[in-house]
Chains A and B, each alone.
Chain A
Amino acid sequence: MSARSPYAEAYELKGVLASRRYFMLRRLAQAAFLLVFLTGPWFALWIAKGNLASSRTLDVLPLTDPFVLLQSLFARHWPEATALIGAGIVLAAYLALGGRTYCSWVCPINPITDLAAAIRRRFGIKQTAKLRPEFRNYLAIGVLILSFVSGTVAWELVNPITALHRALVFGLPFAATGALAIFIFDLFVAKDGWCGHLCPVGAFYGALGKAALLRVSAGGREACDDCMDCFAVCPEPHVISPALRGGKTGASPVIASGDCTLCGACVDVCPRKVFHIAHRFDHSVTHVPAPTISVTSESTLAKG
């Protein structure tokens, strides 16, 4: 049982390359974020040392995951300056670049959940457990409370993101089992189950995203013909409507929700170029010429 690809129309109108631009860029970015950690152990060429929890790039740039450090602070440990500076840099970067950009451009779990979602679309797997996206927020709070009560960096005991990254970068096979479990869960149990509903790390970056500068805008929404392809490919479909359908109420075309991962799938899939990457203050809407004008121009061209 195979379903029609949501990309079919985009391939036809924009070409395959233009319809997969952000997808390919994201895969490149994800591969790059992995490779900078792997050139060291593989070729003794050290670019980034450590892993996604905390790292040192080219022996000068410290980076620390702010959510991991936040748990450590809740566990009542005051860290060395290196970790604080590292977390500050990462925090600033994601406030500029969109919060959950981490999820779709850096996180090594993303290709796995993307694959599960693609297989679901390809084979028309519709059944899904009912989960609510808000759950991850409560889980993130629960993790912080547990960190405080237990005095440990609680989520890092099971965090499948850093575990997978460790598995790949440090060669620890069993650390990858969580990622495998997520693949099976997303494929058979719940659509976009992990990233969309459960992951507390995504919830944390989503909170940053609410204030982040870089956003997706449905600035071309007047050209929308309700084909619904963007909803089919979006990992967080609920973020689209307010911006896309906001024309009637005059709402901003900027997707404001922190849940948006800026994956660009909507930009890629839309044959009518409704979406583009913008910043949060860019409320401009492109006015599409009325169809009659385009007919006239075509006939003018034909005459010419």
Chain B
Amino acid sequence: MNAPMKNAPANPGRRKAFADLARFGGGAAAAALALGAFERQSHARPAQTLRPPGALEESAFLSACVRCGLCVRDCPYKTLKLSDWGDGPAPGTPYYIARDVACEMCDNIPCVKACPTGALDHALVDIAKAKMGVAVITSRETCLNLQGLRCDVCYRVCPAIEKAITLELSHNARTAKHAIFEPTVHAESCTGCGKCEKSCVLTDAAIKVLPLELAALRQDAHYKRGWIEKQKAGGALVDAPVKLPTRTPTGEPVPGIK
């Protein structure tokens, strides 16, 4: 217990190493935290920006995309663009806006083939199975068909006509003598290519392609729809109606009831 020795470091090198770690490590941690806050922001992708065919779900996509732009280069229709600062999607990542240029759904899917990392999933070989988004009638009040007119443009341009979009006939209550041909999207066949949105004749498209998570297509698992369960089981899930005992005082059958 020597007083003058108390403050002298036993190992000056180690003390310096700790000091350096605190200083540089602290600085680096502060920088990384600031970057981390920015990283959170990069997940906020505007709804009108769609990812290329085969793109992984957004957070997986951001772990895989190296922002090389090879998909953009190999897109023959210049549909895909790389995101600049302020465009919305994480800087340098590919996207397209259907209202500007829709996806032409190439049979050989060159954008997916070009991706070196698999951010665009190479398992996608049939473009009809792509899910870039899903079309939704976002404005029923302005859609011409829903006013009882025969526009039909979204239906006609759909590459999966009669599968992804059908026209559902109903009575036109306004005129009481015409029909309404309602464009109806069937999500399971819709690739989200955006042809419908691109071609909508209105100034503001009445049909829009939304990212899947926004279109809310998930069916809650706890809702059992009887007709589907019945189909799955190959027959009724419960036995025929239970036969209740007759409770007349004499036990005689009631007339009219078996």
Contact = CB atoms under 8 A, between A and B. Distances in A.
Answer yes or no: are A and B bound together in one complex: yes
Interface of B: 20, 24-25, 27-29, 31-32, 35-36, 38-40, 42, 59-60, 62-70, 72-74, 82, 84-86, 90-92, 114-119, 122
Interface string A130-149: 00101101110111011001
Nearest to A75: B63
Interface of A: 40, 49-51, 53-56, 62, 64-65, 68-69, 72, 75-80, 82-83, 86, 132, 134-135, 137-139, 141-143, 145-146, 149-158, 162-163, 166-167, 169-170, 172-175, 177
Q: Which 6 A-B pairs have the closest CB atoms?
A: A54-B68, A142-B32, A138-B28, A75-B63, A172-B84, A174-B85
A175 B85 contact: yes
B39 A157 contact: yes
Nearest to A144: B32
Given A72-B117, A77-B117, A166 B86 contact: no
A173 B84 contact: yes
B118 A146 contact: no
Contacts of B84: 167, 172-175
Nearest to B34: A158
Contacts of B25: 138
A157 B27 contact: no
Nearest to A76: B63
B39 A135 contact: no
A157 B66 contact: no
State the majority secondary structure of interface residues on A: helix
A53 B42 contact: no
The residue in B40, B62, B65, B122 that gathers the most chain A C-beta atoms within 10 A of its C-beta is B62
A285 to B, nearest CB: 32
Contact of A146 (B32, B69, B72): B32
Nearest to B92: A166
Kindly name the residue among B31, B36, B69, B119 whose own CB sees the greatest number of chain A CB atoms within 10 A. Answer: B69
A80 B69 contact: no
B130 to A, nearest CB: 18
Contact of B39 (A54, A134, A150): A150
Nearest to A149: B36
Nearest to B73: A49
Contacts of B29: 142
Q: Interface SS of chain B: helix, strand, loop or mixed? A: helix
Given A72-B64, A82-B116, A153-B66, A139 B38 contact: no
A63 B29 CA distance: 31
A159 to B, nearest CB: 9
Given A64-B66, A154-B39, 15 more contacts: A50-B70, A64-B68, A77-B60, A83-B116, A138-B27, A142-B28, A149-B36, A150-B36, A150-B39, A152-B62, A153-B65, A157-B42, A167-B84, A170-B69, A174-B84
Contacts of B32: 139, 142-143, 145-146, 154
B82 A80 contact: no
B150 to A, nearest CB: 42
A157 B90 contact: yes
Given A50-B73, A157-B38, A175-B84, A80 B20 contact: no
A167 B117 CA distance: 22
Contacts of A77: 60, 63-64, 117-119
A54 to B, nearest CB: 4
18 contacts: A40-B73, A50-B73, A53-B68, A54-B68, A54-B70, A69-B117, A77-B64, A80-B115, A138-B28, A141-B28, A149-B36, A151-B60, A157-B39, A158-B91, A166-B67, A172-B85, A173-B84, A174-B84
Contacts of B59: 151-152
Given A80-B115, A158-B35, A163-B92, A153 B69 contact: no
A229 B67 CA distance: 41
Nearest to B70: A50
A110 to B, nearest CB: 20
B38 A158 contact: yes
A40 B66 CA distance: 20
Given A152-B39, A157-B90, A170-B72, A80 B66 contact: no
Nearest to B84: A172
Contact of A135 (B27, B36, B86): B27
B90 to A, nearest CB: 6
B73 A156 contact: no
